[in-house]
Structure 1
Amino acid sequence: MPLPANFDHLDADALRQLLLEQERELVWRQSKIERLTHELALYRRQRYGVRAERLSAEQARLFEETTDADLAAMSEALEQLQPDSKAQTAKGQARRKALPPELPRTEIRHEPESTTCACGCQMRRIGEDVAEKLDYTPGHFTVERHIRGKWACAQCQSLVQAPVAAHIIDKGIPTAGLLAQVMVAKYQDHLPLYRQEGIFGRAGLAIPQSTLAQWVGQCGVHLQPLVDALKAELLAHPVLHADETPVAMLEPGAGKTHRAYLWSYSVGAFDPLKAV
């Protein structure tokens, strides 16, 4: 929790209250980190350990993509709780393969609003940074080339460059459109990720199922505020409809199943809000 701007002018009671709030947030943050770390270790053991279950190829793919998505979601949540972790983990990341050169490219240029230095001199363009993002429209891929020019002032040695636009996945290659395509195909059209990999392959670039699962998990973390808002809106209604669906749930490592339930909640059919 950041300190307020008028921190120096707080009285003793307000200062104690602020310290208590910060201590509560630190305890909550640490407990959530410990819980996520524990769950992450369990999921990794479940994903990569030796399993006794004998699943069909289709069931195995669904199991793996779900576990990969959950692993990515927990890793993303941990990184958000530990802001410094991204800088630490970025050093050890492998270099990403370049996007295929045969894909059509669209250049999107980002330049500063003004190239006149604060000292009054006209700045000179000395180079540029290029970031490529993979986009998809049904049937074919395209590449967005985001070009950010570098402008320098020879007089005062200052450098100006347009800021990097915010992306759903930090330093990732997919555009918001490609991520939306993956999420809608998986959850609205019920297309498993291994089938989407084949569809993308026919379009010219077979994105591995494991990569798609990581994207799904990371998107899930960023969509959590929307889920929370939907839940709050649902619970504000005086009447809710509920339904249970029994399912056979596999116990990891045991090769057995036990009876579990999926519960769904919905507003009324004639309610102006359509929410489930």
Structure 2
Amino acid sequence: MTRDTLKNAESLDEVKDIALNLFDENIILQEQIKSLQDRLFGRKSEKTPKDGEQMSLFDMPEPELPILNEDDTVTITEHARKKRGRKPLPADLPRVDAVHKLSEDDRKCNCGCLKDKIGEEVSEQLEYIPAKVRVIRNIRYKYACKNCEGVEDDGPTVSIARMPDQIIPKSIATPGLLAHILTAKFADALPFYRQEKQFARIGIELARSTMCNWGMKVADACEILIGMMKDDVLANPMIGIDETPLQVLKGPRKSKSYMWIFRGGPPGKPIILFEYHPTRSGDVVSTFLNGYKGIVQTDGYAGYDFLDTKKDIVHVGCWVHARRKFKEVTKALGNKANSSGNAGSALLYISKLYKIEKEAREQGLSAEQLYNMRQSQAIPILTEFKKWIDERVNKVPPKSLLGKAINYTLGQWPRLIQYTTEGFIRPDNNLVENAIRPFVIGRKNWLFSDTVQGAKASAAIYSLIETAKSNGLEPYWYLKYLFRHLPEAMTNDDFLALLPYNVKKEKISESVPC
């Protein structure tokens, strides 16, 4: 808006309108500056600071506004405080006794006698032994019949012991080494080039290119398992979906590709499936869900909008994403605008919804009981919240942070309330976001994938590791068990038994050959 606009105003009312517009624009610009400052320097957590915690450098005290008539009282129940101090070391760790004795001179008493042992004091320290590597020598005995003439080393009369099948034929890598390398990268976010340096420190020359090739060959060998995992995801009533950017240097789009994640599976057996795609288009989801009938939970990305028109799909939204919009408002401007107080009202409504979920978890309610609880308690809160939003949607500048939060929530409302229709649906997509977090952390270290083949291999290995973790398996021991037994699998049942949600924890903890 220019000075000429104000000069050309023909009436006092027009001047007032211009002034109001300038005021709104000033508020929006201040919010944008504050939001940028908070992203750069503020808390990354979305949790509200507790009493006594330091606030953001750019936060201003929010005025105490009559947000809602909160009838609930807070009762602090009695609780047992945990004993402070060092936790005992695990009892299953091997112990080595280091006995400390006094010399004869030190044992002499003032009376001239030698002091006798009357007891002992025991304290424990934790020792670390650097990783050891060893070479497995496969010695295959040859057998021949001495009564046959013309015996040759490799002739028809000679028999030789069979080598166990290997996941990578003719490779020097054992299942244990492969499991260590892949767990280090995909579970601990340690890139191959750093592992190369670690191996060099213990005298092993192992190139990062070799480790990369091993990873792709392992992914190829596990392709049948990934297919089975996808079938099991599609065979169950609910799927959560999310995506995150990934740079592939030699991919079709050098600037940005995407790693998609699909979470589903039978009750109590979560499956986390990663898939690489060069695009963020909704066609990826459409192709994956081809023929699927059930519940799909997503965030508010427009690429998922087509799910609303699928008659066999119930599209559920995510309350965490709606809450996040209002949380951004509370971080901006503080007491310089009423927006922070209004956002606080919205956050209070949402916190009431989550309080119901927390109480249900603490009481161990079944899906049917939770459904009934939501109908009696959550629905009235949602009805009141919707009324609160409708009263403000036309009064708040749509480009302000509060306006964006209100319009986002209003646009997502049909999806947001769907979680109340079934007791087993969560109000948010947090489980999917948590599952994709290890990939995001790893990406900060290795930055990109070199080829499409490498990105697809990463997706397969992440799928196995994250599914194993979600089912209570330690990834190293699961991968070692898998790589040991996968080459021997022949039938469909053999492969099903190796899926991470079908392997018992006790089975992989047993000692297995390297």
TM-score relative to the length of structure 2: 0.25
> Larger Rg: 1 or 2?
2
More helix by share: 2
Q: TM-score, normalised by structure 1?
A: 0.45
Question: Of the two structures, which has the highest relative contact order with CA contacts closer than 8 Å and spacing of 6 or more?
Answer: 2
